[in-house]
């Protein structure tokens, strides 16, 4: 996989608004893919967090009243959580929204493909930052059969260094895998 190919695959029109059921709280994440040997950035949430404690996720968060749209939310949250400043013109596209099954969020994922990134620094909302090799991560896809997870048809897991990615983050990774036809 080459970065130019990835930019092409993930290039879509950007519509940073979700017109949907108002029972969901809106959120967004930024999927950052970088390097000539493509890597994807994910984070581990601290176990002390109220929602999604200890989970592996993409940088992002809930729509703030000061955010003009969900793209602004994803860019702001990525900068706050891991110190990565991405401009709107570095976002190549977006994926389909995914919902969380327990916390009631509808998440709009945006995609940025970069040649390189600076050193990252986490804030208190991030326990650890992962730089996961994209190809090998996507090859670990499995159907999620954990009885503690709410089972729906679209439940998957991915694994990296004994860390399990599941839930909404895994459904976002599954969209990436589907787009790359792996």
Write out the H or E segment, with its range, that includes residue 99.
Answer: strand 98-99
In degrees and rounded to multiples of 5, residue 135 shows phi and psi of -60, -50
Structure tokens at 45: 């949430």
pLDDT of residue 18: 86
The answer to whether residue 29 scores a pLDDT higher than 90 is yes
The fold of the 3-11+23-133 domain, in CATH, is Nucleoside Triphosphate Pyrophosphohydrolase (3.90.79)
pLDDT of residue 48: 72
What whole-number distance in Å separates Cα of residue 143 and Cα of residue 118?
A: 34
pTM for this predicted structure:
0.91
In degrees and rounded to multiples of 5, residue 109 shows phi and psi of -90, 130
Q: For the chain, give the percent of residues with pLDDT over 90.
A: 70
What whole-number distance in Å separates Cα of residue 108 and Cα of residue 27?
A: 6
**In this predicted structure, which of 25-34, 52-61, 139-148 has the lowest mean pLDDT?**
139-148
Contact 18, 108 (CB under 8 A): yes
What whole-number distance in Å separates Cα of residue 49 and Cα of residue 126?
A: 10
pLDDT of residue 33: 98
Give the pLDDT confidence of 120-152 residue by residue, as tens digits. Answer: 999 998 999 999 999 999 999 988 766 555 555
* Residue ranges covered by each domain of the chain: 3-11+23-133
The answer to whether residue 49 scores a pLDDT higher than 80 is no
What whole-number distance in Å separates Cα of residue 53 and Cα of residue 104?
A: 15
Give the residue carrying structure tokens 């950007």: 14
Query: Mean per-residue pLDDT for 154-178?
Result: 92
């Amino acid at each position: 996989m080459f970065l130019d190919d990835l930019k092409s695959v993930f290039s879509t029109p950007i519509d940073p608004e979700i017109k949907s059921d108002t029972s969901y709280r809106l959120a967004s994440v930024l999927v950052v893919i970088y390097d000539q040997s493509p890597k994807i950035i994910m984070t581990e949430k601290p176990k002390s967090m109220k929602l999604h404690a200890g989970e592996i996720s993409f940088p992002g968060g809930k729509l703030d009243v000061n955010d003009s749209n969900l793209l602004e939310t994803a860019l702001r949250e990525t900068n706050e959580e891991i110190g990565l400043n991405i401009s709107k013109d570095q976002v190549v596209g977006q994926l389909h929204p995914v919902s969380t099954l327990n916390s009631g969020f509808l998440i709009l994922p945006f995609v940025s493909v970069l040649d390189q990134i600076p050193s990252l620094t986490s804030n208190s909302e991030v326990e650890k930052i992962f730089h996961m090799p994209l190809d090998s991560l996507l090859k670990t896809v499995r159907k999620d059969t954990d009885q503690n997870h709410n089972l729906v048809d679209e439940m998957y897991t991915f694994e990296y260094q004994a860390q399990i990615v599941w839930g909404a983050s895994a459904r976002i990774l599954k969209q990436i895998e589907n787009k790359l036809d792996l």
